[in-house]
Amino acid sequence: MKLFLFGHDYRYAAEQMLLTLFPDERPEYPQGKPEGDRAELCLNEGALKYTAVCRLFLNGSEFRGRASVQKSKITDELSKAKYLQRIIKFSFYRAALKSGRPKPVWGALTGIRPGKLLSNLLEAGMGDRAALSKFMRDNDVSRERALLCLYTAHAGLDCARTLDSRDICLYIGIPFCPTRCSYCSFVSQSVQKSMKLIPAYLEALYREIDATAEVVKSLSLRPISVYMGGGTPTTLSAQELHELCSKLETAFDLASVREYTVEAGRPDTITKEKLETLKIHGVTRVSVNPQTMEDAVLEAIGRKHTAQDVLNALKIVSDVGGFEINMDLIAGLPLDTPETFGKTLDTVLALYPENITVHTLALKKGSGIMLGNTPRPSAEDVGSMIDHANSALFKAGYKPYYLYRQKYMSGGFENIGWQRSHTENIYNICIMEELCSIISMGGGASTKLCLGSGRIERIFDPKYPAEYIDSIEKVIADKRKIIELMS
Ligand code: SF4
């Protein structure tokens, strides 16, 4: 859609709302006289308030939305930018609803962490009921979605109370998988060919681990959580896993670690020997991710394993014993229907894992799923799947403990981590609520430093194994910058 901004240059705010209201449209900023279907977003300054007006032109009709903020509410440049962006988004939102666009699932909320505003209200001392009402009213959010945020906000606040200022989470990225799933955005197209890079990759990773451990020591930081993700770390052999875990133990002081997760997402990578190795090294949680328990759907997404393989892998996990289990599901996969998704959920609930994460399929351009012709469920069907999952999980005794959205999510829904019996994963809460720094190593790893007063700095490692290996000197130099940033 053509966007014209008058009196401001808040492109990001305009684009975020465009994506929420018109998910299939992409922003264009043409020069010259505005014409055709478009949104004109104007910001005006008055004596007492700022007013944003959106004029939305669709198929020859005009729809107007308006929002304003009193100048007395603005305290500094940061709050000014925040309020002005908010009224610009709201004017766009109101004009679109007047045009007959359906109300988005999350109302006027855009962004990755829709619950953050609710967490802020609770943190400021507001009670549940008052915070919930304000959150719903201010953002036009349904009670159902606001309640999900209330659970996750409390999980975040409870977790925050247990943290010390020196606490950090460690993340280790293993960007290898036996094959590539069609919806994947984490590993390269040539993931099978890249397997031969594993020895060189681990050598480079060990160098980064050593350099990072020096940084952690010099800043007296204390790892409380270790998370090994990817990719699928259990693509490594038992011997390689043993060497990697040993390396982490000798490099870092892991005495204060409260949880240690290894993603064993693909059941075709799980063996008794690997799990016994992980257990010896103190791993407390593994993630076995079916995504679906329908063989036809598994085949459609290129998983190269069956639902029975998932059950077999879980049998190995429980035979070895001592692990909390997470299982990931995705709503919106090709060939899936509300009925088959319901069957998957029933099967997974019968297994009663400690954590279940329900994702909504993200429709990333260029992914195998977007390029293929296999039919995908409609946004309404994805909505039924999510609604069914939410009520079935609550009924089975699970509670949401972290929640986030991504760009281009099918139907605009969300991803929710559910837990039972107080088995919240600290790493997931910390990364979503930005409670402590996450220091990450390996291909595709992203370090997130929480520097106080809401200041965040990020450092990204190269995504794919070959470029990671080639740029290891720079990766190490970047890690050393943490000392300066956190001192
Ligand atoms: S298992 Fe996960 S990381 Fe590996 S290819 Fe599939 S989606 Fe990507």
Which residue reads 């953002």 in tokens? Answer: 139
Tell whether the model's pLDDT for residue 184 goes beyond 90.
no
| The token pair that represents 269 in the structure block | 């990578």
Which residue's C-alpha comes closest to atom 8 of ligand 1? Answer: 184
Any ligand 1 atom below 6 A from CB of 232: yes
Which residue's C-alpha comes closest to atom 3 of ligand 1? Answer: 231
The tens digit of pLDDT for each residue in 117-141 reads 999 999 999 999 999 999 999 999 9
Task: Quote the mean pLDDT of the chain.
Answer: 95
Which residue's C-alpha comes closest to atom 5 of ligand 1? Answer: 180
The tens digit of pLDDT for each residue in 13-50 reads 999 999 999 988 999 999 989 999 999 999 999 999 99
Residue 62: band (very low, low, confident or very high) from pLDDT cuts 50, 70, 90: very high
Q: What's the predicted TM-score (pTM) here?
A: 0.94
Which residue's C-alpha comes closest to atom 2 of ligand 1? Answer: 231
| The token pair that represents 354 in the structure block | 């400690």
Instruction: State percent of the chain over pLDDT 70.
Output: 99
Any ligand 1 atom below 6 A from CB of 448: no
Tell whether the model's pLDDT for residue 187 goes beyond 90.
no
The tens digit of pLDDT for each residue in 291-337 reads 999 999 999 998 989 999 999 999 999 999 999 999 999 999 999 99
Residue 440: what pLDDT?
Answer: 98
Any ligand 1 atom below 6 A from CB of 181: yes
Pocket test for ligand 1, best of 176, 191, 194, 232 (most atoms within 8 A of CB): 232
The tens digit of pLDDT for each residue in 438-465 reads 999 999 999 999 998 889 999 999 999 9
Domains of the chain: 1-102 (3.30.160.100), 162-486 (3.20.20)
Any ligand 1 atom below 6 A from CB of 186: yes
Residue 409: what pLDDT?
Answer: 79
* CA-CA-CA-CA torsion sign (293, 296, 297, 303): positive
